[in-house]
Amino acid sequence: MQNITCLASQHNEKQTFNNIQIKDINFDNLLNRDPININTNDCIDLLEDSKIIITGGAGSIGSEIVKQLLNLGINNLHIIDNSENAIYHLRNTLNELYPNHNAKILLHYINDEKKMEVLFKDIQPDYVFHVAAHKHVTVIEHNIYEAININIVGTKIIADLSSKYNVKKFLFVSTDKAVNPANIMGASKRISELYIQHLNTISNTDFIITRFGNVLGSSGSVIPRFIDIINQNKNIPVTHKEITRYFMSIEEAAILVIKAITIGKSGQILLFDMGEPVKIMDLAQKIINLFPEKKILIDIIGLGPGEKLYEELLCKSEEVIHSEEKKIMIFKNKKNSHDFIDKYNELIQHFHNLSYDELKIKFKEIVPEYDTKTYFKG
């Protein structure tokens, strides 16, 4: 293990922290760029009288989408999540911040097809934000069946029902890790991207995909982990000196997702402008600088399962098309291979009977650019 000493900056403010919380962090300073500002008038015009379903709506990103919609006066929300604890906290937060809200918060699993059918039949939604997913790369690398259950089968159920019940627009929150994926999480999201694009060819619903990188302050972000580790007076682990990631704030991600469902059209992939990629080493140093009274080390621990040194934004099969919104790039995917749906259906129907290695081979057959090689140590 390699230790790199990072002393706290001599130019910090005099205030020090015994313990620091997420609310104490200025994410714009960490990203070293101006926050993204989006005109939302057209979002209000489109969504204000609509019935909306948000899956994964009690998670970090989903709950922020809920709050941003309520901020815009869009109130007829049906929030689905499978975490009782997250729902409890979201309900309390909404009751405090929006005492007159009309949002319905429902404890359900998206891969419970019969229950989802009942909900769609009852709600008859106009728009669906599909946020629910397993997102932790290193966890999902060892839990491929759950990746399939939620990220692939769960997405298929929600997407199919959206088509069946004539939802106007379905927005799928994907990830930059779906581009030339090096891990099971990214590959599972890419498979669902391809299925959603397939549905565009046979459905009246507009299926739209968004991609963005890591969201600062979310439950999956490195920031809460770094803060927790420093509060324990421990060194910060970084996988590689050169590892970079794209970042944006939760607020930026949420409002851009809402903008994307407003301007997005059938079959499009919308990518948010996240600025330049950030070195995790630099990010760690900035967090360390919040603790001038401490001497913190950064431990280089090597890349974990499925981790890449950098993320990519564009698949080889995609082409960029014009966007009037300067902070959103729009891609159009070339047609799926003629046998995609056969391979996809085979995976859906038989995955319970296949081994981990056999499933990785199936992933590779569906997503040829999926790199199944063993990760390397940095």
Predicted pLDDT at 288:
87
- Residue 186 predicted with pLDDT over 80: yes
Predicted pLDDT at 113:
97
Give the model's confidence band at 373: pLDDT under 50 very low, under 70 low, under 90 confident, else very high.
low
What does the alpha-carbon distance between residue 160 and residue 339 come to, in Å, rounded to a whole number?
19
Give the model's confidence band at 7: pLDDT under 50 very low, under 70 low, under 90 confident, else very high.
very low
What does the alpha-carbon distance between residue 173 and residue 183 come to, in Å, rounded to a whole number?
18
Predicted pLDDT at 322:
63
pLDDT in tens, 301-311: 888 777 788 77
What number is the average pLDDT over the span 92-116? 96
Beta-carbon contacts of 119 under 8 Å, excluding residues fewer than 6 positions away, are 53, 78, 80, 106, 108
Provide the 10 A C-beta neighbour count for residue 167: 25
What does the alpha-carbon distance between residue 27 and residue 22 come to, in Å, rounded to a whole number?
10
- Residue 197 predicted with pLDDT over 80: yes
- Residue 20 predicted with pLDDT over 80: no
Give the model's confidence band at 374: pLDDT under 50 very low, under 70 low, under 90 confident, else very high.
very low
What number is the average pLDDT over the span 192-196? 96
pLDDT in tens, 67-89: 999 999 999 999 999 999 999 99
pLDDT in tens, 212-267: 877 776 766 787 788 888 888 899 999 899 988 878 888 888 999 999 999 999 98
Predicted pLDDT at 18:
58
Task: Give the mean pLDDT of the chain.
Answer: 86
Burial readout 337-362 (b: 16 or more C-beta within 10 A, e: otherwise): eeebbebbeebeeebeebeeeebbeb
- Residue 25 predicted with pLDDT over 60: yes
- Residue 41 predicted with pLDDT over 80: yes
Q: How far, CA to CA in Å, does 168 sit from each of 50, 53, 57, 69, 126? A: 10, 12, 19, 17, 5
pLDDT in tens, 151-164: 999 999 999 999 99
What are the DSSP E strand ranges found in 46-196? 52-55, 77-81, 104-107, 127-130, 169-173
For a pLDDT cut of 70, what percent of the chain falls above it?
Answer: 87
Predicted pLDDT at 277:
83
Q: Please indicate whether residue 343 is annotated as part of the active site.
A: no
Predicted pLDDT at 329:
84
Predicted pLDDT at 1:
47
What are the DSSP E strand ranges found in 164-205? 169-173
Predicted pLDDT at 278:
86
Beta-carbon contacts of 37 under 8 Å, excluding residues fewer than 6 positions away, are none
**When comparing pLDDT for 280 and 319, which is higher?**
280
What number is the average pLDDT over the span 102-106? 96
**Residue in 177, 189, 259, 362 annotated catalytic:** 177
Least confident of 173-177, 194-198, 335-339: 335-339
Range with top average pLDDT, 10-14, 218-222, 235-239, 336-340: 235-239
Give the model's confidence band at 327: pLDDT under 50 very low, under 70 low, under 90 confident, else very high.
confident
Predicted pLDDT at 220:
63
Give the model's confidence band at 10: pLDDT under 50 very low, under 70 low, under 90 confident, else very high.
very low
